[in-house]
Each structure stands twice: as structure tokens, then as C-alpha cells.
């Protein structure tokens, strides 16, 4: 948790100033480090006045793109002088992640690019399964596409992308309904992330660009001796690596949200287990 507690300098003509409280989760993929989560804010003069809320995505970089404020430079000089006066200190084994704009880091990450601006959403498109069986949702312009996926009647071979990449289990969800709705969004900046989705080794979403408009898929979770496996595959890293998506699972009145970070070496797996309501 990161909470803004004090205003050091204010520059504005009119209006009010808000302070943020952030709830962030640290993750690492190779040499890249990330902080992402949510925030809410309140008026600096009246903590009971709401200033809004939203999501945060931070990528650690070696050099900041932001102008370094004089008070930060002054603080860094004071800390450096204090360390010199105090002499050598024992190194801590704890690692504290830094956020973008906080100074230099030990490892250099790929250069950061500006996110693609959002465009107005096109009309919803509904994809219906053919009579011979369901077809995957395809294309880069899919918006609010809906398809119902049932269990395959014959064994499905394991796709190559699930064999050649690491498949990391994120969570096992126990659901009480056989018809489960999945909604897939881009998480953080809309930066041309593209994904494919496999359910029990069958392709159900193919090379689809995700955005703030959902790709909607219905899957069938039946009683089984083994969990049903949903695999999120990153087809690219978008304009801002890594590939980030938000999976919303609707199980009747229950709703689950899973934030997914994947790359071209690692897939993310979510298992589904059916349990009938007594």
C-alpha cells in the first residue's frame, strides 16, 4: 500500500487537490519489474470528499522520462550526504521494488513507448458457433464477441504453443454453474495486446486484440475427475511489454477478476472445478 500523506508543493489556478491511496502488487518477468493495482483518492482539504478511483500500471525503467523536481534532487543529496557521514552499513537481504520515475535501477529495461490512444468502440459483434461445433473468436477488431464452448467429445491433442512455453497456474476456481461467462479486457493502458485462449486444449479465442471493450466467451464446466484448464496465451507484448489482460469470470451471481501478465515464454493457466450447489 502506498499512501500520499503530505503536499509538498501545489501549482494550480483553481479547483481542488486530491491525494491517492494505492494498492499495488509487485511482479517480475525476466529482467522486467512491474507494479500494478488500483487506487482511490480524496480531497486534500476534506478527506470525506471522494476524488475518484482507477487502475495503475507501472514498469520499472533505468532512466525516467519525467522531469525531476528540485525537492527530489535536494532529498537525494541529503540522503547521499547522510550515508557518507554514517559510513558503511550492513546490506539488507530485502529487495524493495522501485516505480517508474524514482531514479536509476540496477537493470535496464526496454525503452518505454507511449500507449496507443483509445478509439471509439465499434458496434458489438456476436459470433455464433457453426452446427459442426464451435469456432474460435478471431481477428484484431473483435468487440464484445460471444461464443459458447462445450466440452469436446473426442480427445484433443495438446497445441504446440502449450508444449513449448511454460504454463504457470495462477488460480483454481470452484464454480457452481456449468455455464460460465468469461470477459477478457486489456488491463492498464490499451496498447494493442493480442491474445489467444485455449480451453481444455481447444482454441476458443484466436489472435484477438483486447481493449476496454470485452471479448465475451461462454464455456461449459462439467463434473470431472480433473480440473478443466483455461490457458491465456500472449501472441505479442503490445506497445508496452508485457502482455496484460483482465479476465472476468461470471458464475451465476458470483464474479471473479483475475489480472494476468504473460509473455512469449510463459502462458497463464486458470483451472475450473465444478461443484454443485447443495
Closest residue by Cα to residue 268 from 191, 197, 184: 197
Does residue 257 sit in the same domain as residue 156? yes
Q: What is the pTM of this model?
A: 0.51
Residue 92 resides in a domain: yes
The larger pLDDT score, comparing residue 101 to residue 156, is at 156
pLDDT for the residue numbered 16:
77
Query: Is 127 inside any structural domain?
Result: no
| Degrees to nearest 5, angle at CA 101 with 77 and 238 | 160
Q: How many domains does the chain have?
A: 2
Specify if 211 maps to a domain.
Answer: yes
Same domain membership, residue 207 and residue 157: yes
For strands 243-251 and 194-199, give the pairing: unpaired
Please, what is the average pLDDT of the chain? 79
In a domain, 261, yes or no: yes
Is residue 222 situated within a structural domain? yes
Mean pLDDT of 38-58: 84
- Predicted local confidence at residue 8, as pLDDT: 77
Is the domain of 256 the same as that of 149?
yes
* 112 has a pLDDT exceeding 60: no
Rounded percentage of the chain residues whose pLDDT exceeds 70: 75
* Mean pLDDT in residue range 58-66: 82
Same domain, residue pair 82 and 165: no
**110 or 201, greater pLDDT:** 201
Q: Please give the average per-residue pLDDT across 211-223, as a whole number.
A: 94
Q: What is the pLDDT of residue 73?
A: 85
- Residue 229 in any domain: the answer is yes
Domain limits for position 7: 1-112
Rg (CA), the chain: 23
Residue at which a domain ends, from 69, 97, 112: 112
- Phi and psi for 41 in degrees, rounded to 5? -135, 155
The answer on 257 and 202 residing in a single domain is yes
Amino acid at each position: 500500500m502506498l499512501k500520499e500523506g503530505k503536499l509538498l508543493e501545489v501549482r494550480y489556478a483553481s479547483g481542488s487537490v486530491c491525494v491517492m491511496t494505492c494498492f499495488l502488487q509487485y511482479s517480475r518477468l525476466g529482467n522486467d519489474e512491474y507494479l500494478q493495482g488500483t487506487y482511490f483518492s480524496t480531497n486534500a482539504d476534506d478527506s470525506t470528499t471522494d476524488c475518484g478511483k482507477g487502475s495503475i500500471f507501472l514498469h520499472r525503467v533505468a532512466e525516467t522520462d519525467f522531469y525531476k523536481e528540485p525537492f527530489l534532487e535536494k532529498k537525494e543529496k541529503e540522503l547521499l550526504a547522510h550515508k557518507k557521514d554514517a559510513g558503511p552499513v550492513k546490506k539488507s537481504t530485502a529487495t524493495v521494488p522501485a516505480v517508474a520515475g524514482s531514479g536509476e535501477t540496477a537493470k535496464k529495461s526496454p525503452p518505454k513507448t507511449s500507449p496507443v490512444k483509445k478509439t471509439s468502440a465499434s458496434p458489438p459483434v456476436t459470433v455464433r458457433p457453426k452446427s459442426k461445433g464451435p469456432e474460435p473468436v478471431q481477428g484484431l477488431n473483435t468487440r464484445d464477441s460471444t461464443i459458447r464452448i462445450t466440452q469436446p467429445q473426442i480427445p484433443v491433442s495438446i497445441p504446440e504453443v502449450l508444449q513449448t512455453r511454460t504454463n504457470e497456474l495462477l488460480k483454481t476456481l470452484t464454480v457452481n454453474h456449468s455455464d460460465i461467462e468469461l470477459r477478457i479486457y486489456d488491463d492498464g493502458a490499451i496498447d494493442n495486446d493480442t491474445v489467444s485462449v485455449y480451453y481444455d486444449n481447444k482454441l476458443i479465442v484466436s489472435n484477438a486484440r483486447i481493449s476496454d471493450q470485452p471479448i465475451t466467451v461462454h464455456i461449459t464446466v462439467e463434473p470431472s475427475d480433473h480440473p478443466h484448464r483455461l490457458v491465456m496465451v500472449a501472441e505479442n507484448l503490445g506497445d508496452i511489454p508485457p502482455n496484460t489482460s483482465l479476465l472476468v469470470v461470471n458464475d451465476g451471481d458470483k464474479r471473479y477478476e483475475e489480472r494476468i501478465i504473460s509473455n512469449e515464454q510463459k502462458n497463464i493457466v486458470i483451472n475450473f472445478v465444478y461443484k454443485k450447489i447443495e
